[in-house]
Structure 1
Amino acid sequence: MQTLTTPPPTSDDISWLIGLFQQGPLEQFLEAAASFSERWPHDGAAQDVLGALYGAAGRFDLAVPALATVAMARPRDAQAHLVLGAALQQLDRHEEALVALANAGKAAGDDAATRHEAEALRGVSLHATGRFDEAVSALRAVVEADPGNVAARNNLAISLQALGRADESIEVLRAALALEPDHVEALTNLATGHELRGDVEQALAALNQAITRAPSDADLYERLGGILLDNGDLERAEDALEQALALDSTRIEALNRLGMVQHHKGDVGRALACFELATVQAGAQSEHLGTLHANRGYALMDLGENEAAIAALEHAIALRDDPDFDRAQKIRTQMQIADWRALDDYAAHADTLGMGNAPVSPGSLLAIDDDPARQAARAALYARKWSVRVADPVNPPAAADGRIRIGYFSGDFHDHATMHLMAGTFRTHDRSRFEITAYSYGSNPGGAVRETLAGQVDRLVEVGGMGDAEVAALARAHGLDIAVDLKGYTYQGRTAIFAHRPAPVQLSWLGFPGTSGAPFLDYLVADATVVPKPERAHYSERLIVLPGSYQPNDDARAIAPHAPARAELGLPEQGFVFCCFNSLYKIGPREFDIWMRLLSAVEGSVLWLLRPEPAAEANLAREAERRGIDPARLVYADWAAPADNLARLARADLFLDTFAYNAHTTASDALWAGVPLVTRPGRAFAARVAASLLHAVGLPELIAPDDVAYEALALDLARDPARLAQARARLAANRTTTPLFDTAGHTAALERAYVAVHERRLAGLPPEDVSLA
């Protein structure tokens, strides 16, 4: 029997199919092409045409089988293998592409142009499969053989950047741009290279050049906005991201970053609206969804909607590959509403959370984990985010008037706890010996506190609208000798300013109670209690050890003349009042168990707390009932102005401290108001502040060595009115005779430390521990 064979397609057949493709619609062409393929499934010429047309239509899933047939039919046709390899790349099937491109190179023989093209494409697939060293070798060979190949130079630079070789990538890209100055992708990658090196201004310049050449490219504006956001230049970031969205309103990442800008600027409501709109636009399967839920959670936290924030962060944790940051924030937020299930979540991740490759905010776990080694590891990992931006220190000339120039950086130069503590420091600085500049990057709410500060410093500079590098450059122009970070890793801190080295000597003080892990912060202001010698190794900075306490206090703080009666405050007239005005996230079941046992043991006593949100109040009531205590014995204080708060605090009998994260400003408030405080110090800085204050005020007998002793001491003071009265009397006498509230003495000690570290720098000596104790 004879086998019938189908004759090959005629030129009319092929012309008909091409015409159908050109005329459209695409669905009609695809239907005809499928019939065409079924008729000539093994015909190289037919499948070659099909592959080309499918590729032109963007249907590489259909093009690849056709092109594979061609390559099989023409094993020595280099172009057939080359085109197949290129199509496989479009489908991210890079391992198969590498095989096809290797075949193309072999088949090319003496055809150097085809060999180079195959090798250039092979470099792309090697990069895509993570074989960056091989990609560099392949692409460098192409560039050497074909120096005018700008695309190969651009791809070589991308692989060099993947290997962290930013300097080499910049050289390669500059050579590419010398050949083709308008190559937008090369300009964009040049920006990436500069950003990897920490040259933010150069990165911005390259991106702006790209934008002048492609002003309608929304991606470029999005990239520009991202770099500006990362470097704290919020106003320009907002403009760039809004331009990206004006060009393409569907850009999810641009909308997400615009929300981040609004969040950083303090417009949390608008930030939340951006995140929620982006979430809707992204859809259920978007790769952006985890990030969007996380950012929604952070915005909700700042709006005080903690239950909704926790739910959003749980969504983010389920979706993200590296959820450590979100998990740490969720745990802290759960603690803020007394949802102590958070501690089980923490226990399951304690040894890895923020200590692997995914950093967490170092402050998020201070109230849970009192291990200084883990705190140091988390801080060091977090600080790596700025490692490429660290600028070399400058050595400013001496001031003409001989003064040492000190710069304080904070977002809290207003009616804030930092200023309640530091007001006396600014008031008592020796301005004949020190030039004092306050750099403010907060929301600038104004008010009497800020106005007073303006009169106590040489200059109060508003830098909230400036980028990190720009702020540092301004401070260097002011000739700063010493820069002091008063925020650290706290809400809206701008540690990145210090990576740009605004001064040759840089200190961390007061804001963040722990090590920064950052190589650009030279000193940490401490005292002998908050950093005991056995734990010294866990602090990356050199220490400035002040006498008394590291914490400043203002001996001119006003206490309102009218102290409300207990009844006005909802407190019993005769019952014993235990008090803790710490933030709720510092309170856990360990403390609460003890406090409830104290209430059980002391008839008629109450626990006076700051009023939390309703969900937290309900959780505390449930926890009290579980321990056999009527929730009515938990009494809540609403917000009050500082002077009024101090006046009402005097109505408490005893302040009970929390453990892993002590009372800090609230402890000073209690002691200034004349209320004794019982603490139980831990190992890390944050867990030892109250002990530092008690030592400095001459009441070390109120420091308990462990939980059992803490409970026994508090119970004894509650049951022994004479002993409590004696403690109150000693506190009243010591307020004016001991270091804690000796504002001028504390400032003088701080100034001696400034002189010591400044003179070390002038002598060319590296930072070293300085003890004034």
Structure 2
Amino acid sequence: MNRAPGVLEQALAQHQAGQLDVAQALYQQLLQANPANPDALHFLGLLSCQKGDANSGIALMRRSIAAYPNAIYYNNLGNALREHGELLKAIDSYRQAVALQPDYPEAHNNLGNALREAGQPCEALESCTQALRLRPGYAQAHNNQGNALQDLGEQDAAVRAYRQALAFWPDYAEAHHNLGNVLLAQGQHEAASESYRCATTLSPTCAFMHNNLGDALQRAGQFEAAVAAFSRVVELEPASAAGYSRLGDAYQAWGGKLEAAALCYQSASELDPADVQAHHKLSLVRLRQRRAEEALVSSNKALALEHASAQLHISHGDILNTLDDVDGALASYRYALSLNDELELAHNRLIFEMASRAEASAETRLADARRFGALMAARAKPFQHRRESTTVLGVPKELRPLRVGFVSGDLRQHPTGIFFESVLKHLDTARITLIAYTTIAAEDEVTARLKPCFAAWNSLVDVPDEVAAHRIFDDRIDILVDLSGHIVHNRLPLFAWRPAPVQVSWLGFFGTTGIETMDYILGDRHVLPAAEAWHFSEKTWCLPDSYLCFTPPLEHVPVRPPPMLKNGYVTFGFFGKLAKVTEEVIRVWSRVLCAAPSSRLFLKAQQLEAPEARRRTLARFAAHGVDAARVTLEGGSPRPEYLATYNQIDVTLSPFPYPGGTTTAEGLWMGVPVLALKGDRFLTHICESILHSAGLPEWIAADEEDYVARALALTAEGGREQLVALREQLREQVMHSPLCDAPRFARNLEAAFDGMWRESLMRQSA
């Protein structure tokens, strides 16, 4: 009789010390003496569960309960069942425990935890509350109460519960972590980071806590610290593909460390070859690195695993576009839309690319845009604007300036900024109050110069369309101007809500938006000829001169004599996006180069920083008989150096059907004339508009043969004399032309807005 308790105490001591084999032998010794010994059965069952034999352990624990039913046994059985994945049986066991012993706080707490896992947060909250009634300082119950409250959406109450848990147990790592979770959900990223830091300090080997710390730090903009947190995750779990993928995300966010990110995604894809997102992210990074062929390899792997992903097909289209496979890109965008017609990005990509496809008919382009517009209209509930709503603080329009809002992600160093800056400074604030609505957070020195021109500067970053539309409506905007169209960072969907009585698209895009509630597209008679008005869902409105006003560079970059005087030959050039240099353009330019064998070509584009892009470009010209020695390729550079490079060419060849816009104006400013080809749609007319505005309509060729003939004529003696004479006076001519006359342009723009507003009032009165 005295021997048995002594052996049990020894067994329990060895069990608690982690000497499981010794404890197991002692429990078995007790059971040899008494096979129905409930304590020996129960604790041997617990030990078996610890050693990974859950089935045997649970069976032994059930035998102990059969021999001696008590609350502690039921509670421990509940724990074992829960860990073994038998949640409903665990709940039944906990209920048996509290039925036998209603004042058992641990069992109430465990029941609450299991009920929460079973998706019963209300019942879980009740059990945790009962545990706290029995033991008010029970930290684990406060923690579980917080979990249940968070499930119920009671975030503030959950925060209080976690803080109560930590008040009773400051070193409770799980409570710090859970507090971080709810703070993160509330958008308190820095506070969440601090809670996660406490958790990881107390539990330094818990990978998921470091992972959540990294997530909070990244959202708080602390990218270097986020990289450190995710690096710790992969140290703890070196076989975690997800960990490497998240580390890659952090490297991208931290100053665009693309190579480090690529290595992380590469590791993730090797650890888990079936990880679609790892392949996809690697393809996107390689594309950003201008390593499009490598991007294509990763993209193909991703699509082989998940062909039904619309987003993958959009990215695949972007890669094909970079590789000059525009037909393949368009097919990818259309396939993405066949999978998910709701994707705005796919619509934008398709509409943008179709605008520059020579073979794309106006009917097809308009149909694509209207399809997008119908989708946006289906999501929106347009505001109704009554005549009395045109007053602001009781003041009617006749006695106040028009309130004009501009929606753009490009109020910075961008073509939109370049063609907008000088105009802003000359708009009459007695006639127009300017309100900005920016769609990206990035700002630069151009942004700093633009901001003072606006009466208010508002950010729409991460603001849903409906909320943004309500803000604009509440601002009592009279005319809302879209400066993006279908280019990146646009917010066209909010225009479908009609937050302003008059809505107009201008400057950023070169075609119809397709938005039914976009009233006007603003251009000039060159880009919006009357015969092409049917290309647009909007009503066309023409400014009297060009629809563009060039802001001369602040940098003083002198115009040098034409390089042909030193070189002895004419150097043609184009300093724009490489995507504009299509196969058709290369064919025509090669005709010029082959017919004028002493001439040279200079191409400058950011994309040409990539070795594969240079190799591919030279090969494309070589296919038309142009030796690589005659083609100079150069990557991007800061604007002063970029402008100075114009001194190395004699003539700019504008591509087609996607001509140079900003590059045309900059080339003219640098004394370099631009040869253009007459087009058949808004996009193709942009260069024509600039040349007309600059007083150079004779530089517009009627067709391909005329284009080639004009280019060749410039390589002859008479043409060279013309180039020398033009170089000497072109900047002065441009500076005094409507292209750079900001005060004149501002008056024209004010008149256009006033005319649109008057038409709006007439429609309301009708």
Do they superpose with TM above 0.5? Answer: yes
Q: Which amino acid aligns with 1:590?
A: E
Displacement of 1:598 after TM fit?
1.4
* Preserved contact between residue 291 and residue 610 of structure 2 (Cα < 8 Å): no
Q: Aligned-residue CA RMSD in angstroms? A: 5.6
Pick closer, same or farther for the CA change 1:522–1:603 going to 2, 3 Å: same
Equivalence map 1:116-195=2 (5 Å): none
> Which residue is 2:711 aligned to?
714
Q: What is the identity, as a one-letter code, of the residue corresponding to 2:597? A: E
Show CA shifts across 1:410-460 (max 9, x none).
34434433222212211221122111233455555543x4454344x1436
Cα shift at 1:526: 3.0
The 8 Å contact of residues 505 and 757 in structure 1, kept in 2 or not, is answered as yes
- Which letter maps to 1:490? I
Residue 232 of structure 1 is matched in structure 2 by none
Letter in structure 1 aligned against 2:457: V
Partner of 1:319: 305
* Partner residue in 2 for 1:588: 582
Cα displacement string for residues 293-335 of structure 1 (whole angstroms, at most 9, x for unaligned residues): 4345445544555555444444433333445544444444455
C-alpha distance 269-482 of structure 1, shift in aligned 2 (>3 A)? same
Residue 751 of structure 1 corresponds to which residue in structure 2?
Answer: 750
Call closer, same or farther: CA 1:450–1:150 in 2, change over 3 Å: closer
Residue identity in the other structure for 2:436: A
Offset at residue 580 of structure 1 (A): 0.8
Q: C-alpha deviations, 1:539-562, integer Å up to 9, x for none?
A: 4444333333332323x5567363
Over 3 Å counting, the alpha-carbon distance change for 1:350 and 1:332 in structure 2 is: closer
| Structure 1: distance between partners of 2:184 and 2:625 | 56
Deviation of 1:596 after TM superposition, in Å, equals 1.9
User: How has the CA–CA distance of structure 1 residues 605 and 286 changed in structure 2, closer, same or farther, with 3 Å as cutoff?
Assistant: closer
Which of 387, 406, 409 aligns to 2:407? It is 409
Q: Secondary structure at the match of 2:420?
A: helix
CA contact 2:283–2:294 (8 Å) conserved in 1: yes
Whichever residue aligns with residue 432 of structure 2, its letter is F
CA contact under 8 A between 2:48 and 2:56: conserved in structure 1? Answer: no
Structure 2 residue matching 1:679: 3-state secondary structure: strand
Corresponding position of 1:545: 542
Report whether the alignment pairs 1:461 with 2:457. Answer: yes
Task: Give the C-alpha shift of residue 514 in structure 1.
Answer: 3.0
Offset at residue 404 of structure 1 (A): 0.9
Structure number with bigger Rg: 2
Could you say if the C-alpha distance between residues 249 and 719 of structure 1 is closer, same or farther in structure 2, counting changes exceeding 3 Å?
A: farther
User: Taking every aligned residue pair, what percent have the same amino acid on both sides?
Assistant: 22
CA contact (8 A) 1:354 1:378 kept: no
Match of 1:673 in 2: 670
Q: Which amino acid is the alignment partner of residue 25 of structure 1?
A: C
Shift of 1:676: 3.0
One-letter amino acid of the structure 2 residue matched with residue 357 of structure 1: N
Counterpart secondary structure, 2:755: helix
Q: Could you tell me which residue of structure 1 aligns to residue 22 of structure 2?
A: none
Match of 2:602 in 1: 608
Q: Equivalent residue for 1:563?
A: 559
> Does the CA-based 8 Å contact 2:310-2:336 persist in structure 1?
yes
Compute the displacement of 1:762 (Å).
4.4
CA contact (8 A) 2:590 2:621 kept: yes
CA distance in 2, matches of 1:617, 1:586: 15
Aligned 1:195-206 pairs, distance under 5 A: none
The aligned counterpart of 2:328 is 345
Structure 2 gap ranges (5+): 1-35, 61-76, 87-91, 93-119, 124-145, 164-174, 200-207, 224-248
Matches within 5 A, 1:424-503: 424-440=422-438, 442=440, 445-447=443-445, 449-455=446-452, 457-459=453-455, 461=457, 463=459, 467=463, 475=472, 478-495=475-492, 503=500
Distance 2:182 2:657 in 1: 41
Matches of 2:195 and 2:538, distance apart in 1: 42
Distance of 2:209 and 2:708 partners within structure 1: 60
Deviations 1:472-526 (A, max 9, x none): 6665554432232323443444556656766443333222333334456443323
Correspondence 1:25 to 2:49:
yes
Give the whole-Å Cα distance in 2 for the aligned partners of 1:385 and 1:517. 9
Does residue 624 of the first structure (1) align with residue 621 of the second (2)? yes
Specify every segment of 5 or more residues in structure 1 that has no aligned partner in the other structure, as ranges. Answer: 1-11, 37-51, 64-82, 84-147, 152-180, 189-205, 229-235, 769-773
Q: For 2:435 and 2:491, how far apart are their aligned partners in 1? A: 17
Q: Distance in 1 between matches of 2:609 and 2:183?
A: 40
Q: Distance in 2 between matches of 1:388 and 1:257?
A: 34
CA displacement at 1:613 relative to structure 2: 0.9
Contact 2:479 2:501 in 1 (8 A): yes
Equivalent residue of 1:431, what SS? coil
Partner of 2:340: 357
Give 1:697-736 correspondences, 5 Å limit: 697-719=694-716, 721-722=718-719, 725=722, 732=730, 735=734
Contact 1:578/1:653 (<8 A) preserved: yes
1:245–1:251 CA contact under 8 A, matched in 2: no
Q: Structure 1 residues 241 and 521, CA, compared in 2 at 3 Å: closer, same or farther?
A: farther
What residue in structure 2 maps to residue 269 of structure 1?
A: 256
Which one of 662, 680, 685 corresponds to residue 682 of structure 2?
685
Q: 1:139 aligns to what? A: none
Question: Which residue in the other structure is 2:570 paired with?
Answer: 576
Tell me, yes or no, if the aligned pair for 2:440 and 2:461 is still in contact at 8 Å: no
Give the TM-score normalised by the residue count of structure 1.
0.61
**TM-score where L is the length of structure 2:** 0.62
Equivalent residues of 2:258, 2:289 under 8 A apart: no
**Structure 1 residues 509, 481: CA separation in 2 closer, same or farther (over 3 Å shift)?**
same
Mark the CA change 1:361 to 1:349 in structure 2 (over 3 Å): closer, same or farther: closer
| TM-aligned CA deviation for residue 576 of structure 1 | 1.1
Kept in 1: contact 2:678–2:688 (CA 8 A): yes
Q: Distance in 2 between matches of 1:387 and 1:635?
A: 50
Q: Which amino acid aligns with 1:294?
A: H
| 2:752 partner SS | helix
Q: Partner letter of residue 303 of structure 2?
A: I
Aligned residues, how many? 605
- Once the two structures are superposed, what CA deviation does each residue of 1:692-721 show, in whole Å capped at 9, x if it has no partner? 333444544443454444334433444473
Per-residue deviation, residues 366-415 of structure 1 (Å, max 9, x unmatched): 45752352475268449947964666367463365601122233344344
> Equivalents in 2 of 1:300, 1:506: separation in Å?
39
SS, match of residue 483 in structure 1: strand
Q: Find the aligned partners of 1:627 and 1:698 in 2 and give their Cα distance.
A: 34
Q: What do residues 202-248 of structure 1 show as CA deviations (whole Å, max 9, x unaligned)?
A: xxxx87788888997999998997998xxxxxxx6798799899984
